[in-house]
Structure 1
Amino acid sequence: MTPPRDVAVVAYARTDHQGPAEGLSEAETLLPVLHEVLDRAGLAPGEADFTCSGSSDYLAGRPFSFTLTLDAVGAWPPIAESHVEMDGAWALYEAWVKILTGRADTALVYAHGKPSAGDPRDVLTRTLDPYYLAPLWPEPASLAALQARALADAGHTAGPDPAADPLAGPPAVADGAAAVVLAAGDAARRMCGRPAWIRGADHRVEPHALGLRDLTDSPSTRLAAERAGAFRAPVDTAELHVPFAAQDVVLRRALRLDDTVTVNPSGAAAGPLMVAGLIRLGEAAARIHRGASDRALAHATSGPCLQHNLVAVLEGDA
């Protein structure tokens, strides 16, 4: 989708947890992040025209768990609010569309995840096809290992260190939160010295059944990038959401990234469930804010073996 209105990321903040947030609720984890991002944007709590969050009630193990974090947001006086049962990258997409329609000029977007409350290896099996895959209880690392094997069999050996192969085990469980503020036009310029303008964003999904997909390729990533305008001009930075190391090969090929592009300069390409994708968008925007990038690509994924993919292109003013 090509935007008819200029919308930018003007502020970003995240937690630095590398593991479980012991003794902290989702709201307690989120509160300092919200204070930081609102301070950077110069907004008071509740001042944003629209608020959108991303998280998983299923991961938390209770219905409407996302409403508990509204205590950290400040929901009185009443606010215009929405929630997606997805990574926060998709909440950012909803807020971006809201601003594009002219129904808001500013938006607060946040995401939180506390997978340490349960065992994500078991929980995530419940998202699989209920007839053929879910009864087998294949956890995410095992499915990613199938993808790594498919890549090896196809001769795609370049890329991540074999020691980081999913066969070595699942990534560490981490809790965390992230938030960004979006603003349109002149409001964005008032809030940020160098706004990260969202020049395009799109998301596409692959078939649910793994047997219908080529695990060595990601057509949904490629199509989302094309529709977001990623191939119209070179990018200098790419922040990729890579839950498992071997998927780095698939994404770089689908996004046509070569050695001239700085990939994941922010560090780890994974992160807390429901938060990692929003972090990738926030980190890409932060590099533009600092002047370290002029045109950046950000990617987020959801589902087994890169099933659902979102791509956004961000630019700074010349």
Structure 2
Amino acid sequence: MAAAPTARRAAAAAIALVVAAAVGTGLWWTLGRDDPDRDCAGLRTDDGVRTVLGASWRSGLPCGELADGLRRATTGEQPGVHTPAQAHAMRTVVLAVADAAHVRVHPDVRGPLARALADYAADTHAVLTGISDTAMAHDGPDADAWQDDRGVHFAVRKDQLTGVLRGLAESPAAYATLRGADLRQGAAGLAAVPAGPARTAIEDALARAAAPAGVFDGIADDVLRGRGAGDRTAWQQAALQGLAPTGPTPPAFGDAPAEYLAQSWLQQLARPAPTTPERFARLDEQATGLLGLWADATRQDEDGIGLPALQDRARASTDRERASAAGQLKQAAS
């Protein structure tokens, strides 16, 4: 008779362990998502990725080696300069990651893939503006990398790229790498505006700087959504560290205008603030900050170019893209 209660207790204990394991798995999947293999198994078995890796592919390829192989296949020795094969490979990898459920990216893949994608910042920046006719002409399922007089390029749909960036941004260092690269593209666009410009030239460069900044704001909102205060602050602090200026003083505007604007803005971002969240919130002013620095450096008549109205327009564009990206990502995760 004593065996029956013992058996029941053993069965109950077994059930409790199964339930606890299931709950633990659910919490891990929601919060950690760092399965040793789950998030790179899909990449490893993707036909396109397998073709990109070529002879270096094998069924048990560790995630770190997988990531390094993809980085080598998509980038060259000269930053920002690519062959058609490399750009085709980058497009293939981005689409493979975009097709992953909820765009989860293994921790070992995030850094190398972010650095590779940052090397294509001119292309990703064009996609994120949402107004590049050239990028939109090459973002379809049957499109491929292309070459013009400025080099070799690739494009995907804006929503696909946003999802991939979100997956990589789980790492604050990767987020900083990607956002910093995009920041420099926005700065370069403003730096290229000629002296004594027509207002339309300023508006175009500003629009191309403000929209991608808003996308990155929305990505950060999604990364931080649902996290506790301590975890949020730690991620923001690490991202800000990754966006720290590279030198004590920026170069002169006349010597390197784009780098002057980017570094000067990053110095403004690095100024002390009462709290890390308050300092991180300054990123929302990225486009308006770049515009103000450009106006000062080029000695523009602020009333003549309508600087306050232009900055208001930049804020509106950034806020609109921020809400759009955050909404897209929240819906994709539901």
State whether TM-score is above 0.5: no
Q: Which has the higher contact order (CA 8 A, sep 6+)?
A: 1
TM-score band by shorter chain is under 0.3
Which structure has the larger Rg? 2
More strand as a share of residues: 1
